[in-house]
Amino acid sequence: MSEKIEWVLNRMPGSDDAQLVVMALENVEKAKAFHRTFPQYGVTPLAKLDGMAARLGLGGLYVKDESYRFGLNAFKVLGGSFAMARYIAQEMGRDVSEMTYDYLTSDQFREDFGQATFFTATDGNHGRGVAWAANKLHQRAVVHMPKGSTKTRFDNIAREGAEVTIEEVNYDDCVRMAAAEAAQTEHGVVVQDTAWEGYEEIPSWIMQGYGTMAAEAAEQLRTLEVNRPTHVFVQAGVGSLASSMVGFFANLFPTCPPKFVIMEAAAADCLYQGAKAADGNPRVVGGDLKTIMAGLACGEPNTIGWDILRNHADAFLSCPDWVAANGMRRLAAPVKGDPSVTSGESGAVGMGVIDAIMSDSAYAELREALELDGSSQVLLFSTEGDTDPERYAQIVWDGAWAK
């Protein structure tokens, strides 16, 4: 595997763009309204890194800090919780706007609906979100984790009262396992954060749920008098998150969208491989998908997400692990005067990438192609905090995974 960041500009033929509507602004508004009903809800901070922007030669650099999301240290709960609400609304023949936290936790709701079992596969963050929401809403959750999942992440899910296992297979096989079990369970439903042919409704709701994060960031930027980010960098595993962010901003700025840069772990760079093949068809990456970016260790693209990215992304990057580690250290120990962001392996790759692109001449061609300069207003998403605290310390304090 290359020690360089590999990149490719999007030269794929477009499709009819039928999936962009999933991220229509009114759908995101519904998700935001739902999340706002939770007593735990609060807008997560948008860190403004002026010192770092000046150092890198950018106009502005903003990092959405999801380590504060619902006290769960990652953005993921936004998706699972909204999908559960929409599923319950659909089962009850009601609109999701009626599914407030107060109603969903009421005795009346228990009488009206009862209990379902939500199955999922996860590297950690998604399962924790599903388990947390199921716990809060008095539903059942069954969670399967891939080989190599850490005990901390397992414990965080078990603590929410879910049935959780670590399996001997990779993430994509865990997804298949969850689907098979749900099919055999009464009122069993898979809440998976990826779509495949024939399984599209729930993942599209999950993508809408993630939209809350994009909508908050857009509003926070406006407060800072940045009406439109010029560049949005977003990391991808299956690409649900990335297509959600891209879809939201493409709908918000239909005539002048920001440039969208999609970043993956090199060991699981399925979207990059698809973009490189340039025929418009997605590609799959198999094997153990070994990377420190556990949340990005997914080898099979979300089919809905792929369609959105194929039509709207500008560049796809395949990133070695040192990029994430560099990003973590830069966010943890910022330029003096900038706020510090506790960002985990899957959260910090954007910071590592923008640092490399702006300061290493090896990426001058990419910098020019993306038109990154002193007028650029760059938005990044730190999608998780120190979800694996031991490894976080190893990387940030002890300098592990140096370039």
Interface residues toward ligand PLP, by CB under 6 A: 74, 76, 123, 125-126, 193, 235-242, 295-296, 298, 346-347, 383-384
Catalytic pick among 32, 76, 136, 259: 76
Q: How far is the CB of 4 from ligand PLP (least distance, A)?
A: 22
Q: How far is the CB of 242 from ligand PLP (least distance, A)?
A: 6
Of the pair 104, 149, the CB lying nearest ligand PLP is at 149
Catalytic pick among 32, 64, 65, 123: 123
Of the pair 76, 136, the CB lying nearest ligand PLP is at 76
- Of the candidates 394, 287, 331, the one whose C-alpha atom is nearest the C-alpha of residue 62 is 331
Q: How far is the CB of 324 from ligand PLP (least distance, A)?
A: 10
Of the pair 237, 352, the CB lying nearest ligand PLP is at 237
Known active-site residue 32:
no
Q: How far is the CB of 364 from ligand PLP (least distance, A)?
A: 28
- Of the candidates 90, 21, 33, the one whose C-alpha atom is nearest the C-alpha of residue 212 is 33
CA distance 326 to 278: 30
Torsion, Cα of 257, 75, 196, 21 (10° steps): -40
Known active-site residue 123:
yes
Q: How far is the CB of 174 from ligand PLP (least distance, A)?
A: 12
Of the pair 220, 346, the CB lying nearest ligand PLP is at 346
CA distance 399 to 403: 10
Q: How far is the CB of 194 from ligand PLP (least distance, A)?
A: 7
Of the pair 327, 347, the CB lying nearest ligand PLP is at 347
Q: How far is the CB of 73 from ligand PLP (least distance, A)?
A: 9
H/E/C letters for each residue in the chain? CCCCCEEEECCCCCCCCCCHHHHCHHHHHHHHHHHHCCCCCCCCCEEECHHHHHHHCCCEEEEEEHHHHHHCCECCHHHHHHHHHHHHHHHHCCCHHHCCHHHHCCHHHHHHCCCCEEEEECCCHHHHHHHHHHHHCCCEEEEEECCCCCHHHHHHHHCCCCEEEECCCCHHHHHHHHHHHHHCCCCEEECCCCCECCECHHHHHHHHHHHHHHHHHHHHHHHCCCCCCCEEEEECCCCHHHHHHHHHHHHHCCCCCCEEEEEEEHHHCHHHHHHHHCCCCCCCCCCCCCCCCHHHCCCCCCHHHHHHHHHHCCEEEEECHHHHHHHHHHHHCCCCCCCCCCCCCCCCHHHHHHHHHHHCHHHHHHHHHCCCCCCCEEEEEECECCCCHHHHHHHHCCCCCCC
Tell me which residue has its CB nearest to ligand PLP: 295
Q: How far is the CB of 55 from ligand PLP (least distance, A)?
A: 25
Of the pair 74, 83, the CB lying nearest ligand PLP is at 74
User: How buried is residue 61: exposed, middle or buried, by Cβ count under 10 Å (0-12/13-18/19+)?
Assistant: buried
Of the pair 153, 367, the CB lying nearest ligand PLP is at 153
Active site residues: 76, 123
